[in-house]
Structure 1
Amino acid sequence: MTTTTDAPTRGAATRPALPRPYLLWLVGTQAGLLGDAALYFALGWAASAHGGGAAGLVLTAITVPRTALVLLGGAVADRFGARRVMLAGDAVMLAATVALALTAADRGTPLWLLVAAAAVIGTVDAFYLPASGSMPRRLVPADRLPRALALRQAGGQGAVLLGAPLGGLLVTAGGLSGAAVADAVSFGVVLLVLLRVRPAADEPTGPRTGLLREAASGVRLALADPLLRAALLLAGAAAGALLPVVSLLGPLLARAHGWAAGTAGLVSGGQAAGTLVVAGLVAWRGALPRAGVGAAAGLCTASAGAALLALATGPVAAVAGSTVAGLGSGLFACHLGPLVLTGAPPTHLSRVQALLTLVQSVALALSNTLLGLLADAAGAVLPTLLCALATAAAGLTALAGPALRRA
């Protein structure tokens, strides 16, 4: 076993430590994610008071600008530097959340305010997400990247688990204004962290040909590269076939069985717990030697969990199925993420991350719509089984293809 930093190590005593700038950035990022999760809950809760159509409108106001502008956001981050884009985004969101808190305290929560806040969030996300997604590659050596991304994913899952309860407490104590103030504080923390963290490889390179052409060049690069192309297609397949299993179909299955909301929450929690366990193990011990095989094995594992969830007749089996699906999801994400980051050239880091976000967002939006319609027509069991089959097919296809099998 080697103990140099030129190759990944697996022993807990000999593995190289993650760089301190990355750990500092990660702490700030997780604070921001927790604040965002609390605000998202508060926005959804406030919107639900206006009816289901209004709640859907608020969600749409986030997703539409984020999806429409994300490729441009990646080009901006690659041209001007990821750190600069993140500093600008955090500053805008700090001002926006303070304004939201003041306006909500004065005028309550009219629908126009919720839609405006959601549109600002979606627009900033379009520029912020590609920049943030490229930061681990800019701060961490390649041999430690799988552990770094796994640690980030574990923190993200923790924010998801804690965000909704925290949002509920903040709304109870201070309404939407209270949640907005908390999110503003989190953006202030991230700003302070970013002022101290300076990635060594964050200087824009390459010719400037116009932002739209630069965004298109990121798409062309990814489509021309066999590994990136296969990884992005696999990410889209996983987003469309796997993500809706617990978020959309899990609650529908619970209602079909007559289970209480608490049981449905346990099913969702099982998925998050499974993902968190795998992310923690990879952060501690390191990833599998062949990342492509690990990602494909994760999808095959997740498909078994989805099938178990679909066929479960009691809560225990359903929670077990969602937990297995979470284990597979974590295994997939912890191995595919490093492949995409290391496969992108330094000049296109944010643009490839933007394309990854776009592929997943479009696939998820389409599958949620189709699966929801199918569930209305035939019940939730059939679409859940179809998701299990599609996830298994994606994993087996990845194993059959040389680009990912040899990665």
Structure 2
Amino acid sequence: MSAAVLAAAPSRPAHRDPRVLRWLGAYTASTLGDGVYHLALSWAAVSGGTPAQAGLVLAVSAVPRALLMLGGGVIADRFGPRRVVIASDAVRCLVVLALAALVLATAPTLWVLAAVALVFGVLDALFLPAVGALPPRIAARDQLARVQGMRGLGQRAGAVLGAPLGGLAVALGGPGAAFAAAGLLFALSLPLLLGLRLRPLPAAPGAPARKDTALGDLADGLRYLRGHRVLGPLMIVIALGDLGFVGPLNVGLALLSDQRGWGPSGIGWILAGFGTGAAAASLLLGVKGRIPRAGAVLGWTMALGAVSVGALAHAPLLPAAVLLACSVGLLAGLSGALAGALLQTACDPAYLGRVSAVASLCSLGLAPLTFPVTGAAIGLWGTGPVFAASAAVCALAGVYGLLTTALRRAELPKG
């Protein structure tokens, strides 16, 4: 389906723009569906096999997501991000509803669950770059930072509410009911996306011609990224920040809570603190709309956030750990939203899908590889040294950004 393009209109605040609100509703529904689906898949896999087999099922989707992410960026640029997002959510809806019917009729084997996880990994590789490329097509350049803040609130809603909704559905009707709920949430996003009308993109001088092959498009996009004065360094900052950050948050907190005797509820409180800080950062950017000296603020928030990451391992009491996690969420949420806004405003629209794919690959493809390394390192040396090393990587990201003149001086457009 081709994207309809509206005539140029005066810029309006993103939170009052029907296009942005329609996109935000679709994105939030899809994110909630993702959370419910993953909870249902986890429960079905644990119920149908050993813990090791369940872990394998849950890990299957990471492989195609990492391998195909860059190709997903090429597809988003070739066919348009709106088409790709609609197709991805439509297929996810059909696959999950079919799985729900199968679960309600009979007990699916682990092979079936693994096949569904594999399909979702492929769809994620298409969906994530396209989602990253959509905001400039629905909002003016001076509103992109506000859109990133609103997107962050949608992500927080999905993270906070998705799993509990999935758990409630499992408790009431089993995994089949939870898969059905996820499918309905994916379905809810479709009419909102189908009604989305896109803004015209300004014709960039010297816009690149499309290559004959997808591989040529990919190579062209990587050359563009490597030679860009702002985007090239920004990708390094994103990669270093995520490599240093996700290990302690996803693996280290569980081991730290176990060592301190805080138990599972302690992990929940710490993650709630992180989520509160991240939501506050998203709300700040969504309301304010623009942060002056965005490149410099990005570097400083990453460097200061690294201090809180390192201090987490030394928190003697749970309330102190929750406050530190809130600080990490606030600073990481702000730096992440600024990085996304700078990416979208600095990038030539013709390359936005491919550039978004590289950023998503760093965050969701490569960074999770640190999970087993973090766990093994904590087993050898303890939480203190490992959290300190992770904090050093995060700090390196911020310092590199501050030392790179073009990135440090990067600004978001004024309204």
TM-score computed with the length of structure 2 as normaliser: 0.91
Is residue 141 from structure 1 mapped to residue 140 from structure 2 by the alignment? yes
Which residue in 2 is equivalent to 1:168?
A: 167
Whole-Å Cα distance in 1 between the matches of residues 42 and 370 of structure 2?
A: 22
Partner of 1:186: 185
Could you say what secondary structure the match of 2:291 adopts? coil
Q: In structure 2, how many angstroms separate the alpha carbons of the residues matched to 1:59 and 1:215?
A: 29
Letter in 1 for 2:43: W
Question: Please, which moves more after superposition, 261-270 or 203-212?
Answer: 203-212
- Partners of 1:31 and 1:189 within 8 A in 2: yes
Measure the CA separation in 2 of the matches of 1:265 and 1:346.
40
**Structure number with higher relative contact order (C-alpha < 8 Å, ≥ 6 residues apart):** 2
Structure 2 counterpart of 1:379, one-letter code: G
**Runs of 5+ in structure 2 lacking a partner?**
1-9, 411-415
Residues in 2 aligned to 1:17 and 1:115: alpha-carbon distance in whole angstroms: 40
Which stretch of the first structure deviates more once superposed, 17-26 or 139-148? 17-26
Matches within 5 A, 1:357-376: 357-376=360-379
TM-score (normalised: structure 1): 0.93
Matched with 2:271 is 268
Contact 1:246/1:267 (8 A) holds in 2: no
**Is 2:30 aligned against 1:27?**
no
Q: What does residue 119 of structure 2 align with?
A: 120
In structure 1, the partner of 2:4 is: none
What one-letter code is carried by the residue in structure 1 that aligns with 2:61?
Answer: I
Query: In the alignment, what sits opposite 1:332?
Result: 335
Deviation for aligned residue 1:68: 0.7
Secondary structure in 2 matching 1:226: coil
CA deviation profile, 1:279-304 (whole Å, cap 9, x unmatched) = 10110112311211121122122112
Q: CA deviation at 1:244?
A: 2.1
In structure 2, the partner of 1:76 is 75
**CA, structure 1 residues 382+51, in 2 after alignment: closer, same or farther (shift >3 Å)?**
farther
- Structure 1 pair 320–109 and aligned structure 2 pair: CA distance change class (3 A): farther
Size of the aligned set, in residue pairs, is: 396
Identity %: 32
Cα distance in structure 2, aligned partners of 1:362 and 1:195: 29
Work out whether 1:211 is the aligned partner of 2:211: no
| Counterparts of 1:52 and 1:381, CA distance in 2 | 29
Alignment partner of 1:313 is 2:316 = yes
In 2, Cα distance between equivalents of 1:277 and 1:364? 24
Letter in 2 for 1:206: A
Instruction: Give 4+ residue runs of structure 1 displaced > 4 Å after superposition.
Output: 14-18, 202-205
Match of 2:406 in 1: 403
Residue range with higher mean Cα deviation, 377-386 or 70-79: 377-386
| Corresponding letter in the other structure for 2:112 | L
Q: 1:17 to 1:116 in 2, by over 3 A?
A: closer
Checking the alignment, whether the CA contact within 8 Å between 1:46 and 1:176 is kept in structure 2 is yes
State the partner residue of 2:56: 57
Residue of structure 1 equivalent to 2:284:
281
The 3-state SS of whatever aligns with 2:134 is helix
**1:357-384 superposed Cα distances (whole Å, 9 cap, x missing partner):** 1122343133223212101111222211
The answer for the alignment partner of 2:353 in structure 1 is: 350
Cα distance change, pair 345–53 in 1 and its aligned pair in 2 (3 A): same
Code of the aligned partner of 1:26: L
Moved more, 384-393 or 145-154: 384-393
Q: In the alignment, residue 132 of structure 1 is paired with which amino acid?
A: V
Q: Deviations over 1:103-130 (max 9, x none)?
A: 1112224211210110111111111111
Separation of aligned partners in 1, 2:321 and 2:89: 40
SS in 2 for 1:242: helix
Structure 1 Cα separation of the partners of residues 365 and 187 of structure 2: 31
Unaligned runs of 5+ in 1: 7-13
| Aligned-pair CA distance for 1:238 | 1.0
> Hey, what's the Cα distance between the residues in 2 that align with 1:242 and 1:201?
37
* Per-residue deviation, 1:188: 1.4
Segment drifting more, 299-308 vs 261-270: 299-308
Deviation at 1:91, TM superposition (A): 1.8
Once the two structures are superposed, what CA deviation does each residue of 1:278-331 show, in whole Å capped at 9, x if it has no partner?
A: 110110112311211121122122112212211111101111111111111111
> Shift of residue 15 of structure 1?
5.9
Which of the numbers 37, 48, 60 marks the counterpart of 2:46? 48
406 and 48 in structure 1: CA distance in 2 versus 1, 3 angstrom threshold: same
Structure 1 contact 301–327 (Cα < 8 Å) conserved: no
Letter in 1 for 2:277: G
Say whether the 8 Å CA contact 2:65–2:365 is kept in structure 1. no
Superposition CA RMSD, Å: 1.9
Residue 35 (structure 2) aligns with: 37
Is the contact made by 2:37 and 2:166 (CA closer than 8 Å) also made in structure 1?
A: yes
Give the distance between the partners of 2:75 and 2:95, measured in 1 at CA. Answer: 21
1:289 alignment partner, SS class: coil
In structure 1, C-alpha distance between the alignment counterparts of 2:350 and 2:161, rounded to whole Å:
36
The aligned residue for residue 251 of structure 1 is: 254
User: For the Cα contact (< 8 Å) 2:250–2:371, is it kept in 1?
Assistant: no
CA contact (8 A) 1:275 1:329 kept: yes
The letter for the 2-side match of 1:73 is G
Q: Kindly state the Cα deviation for residue 17 of structure 1 after the two structures are TM-superposed.
A: 5.1
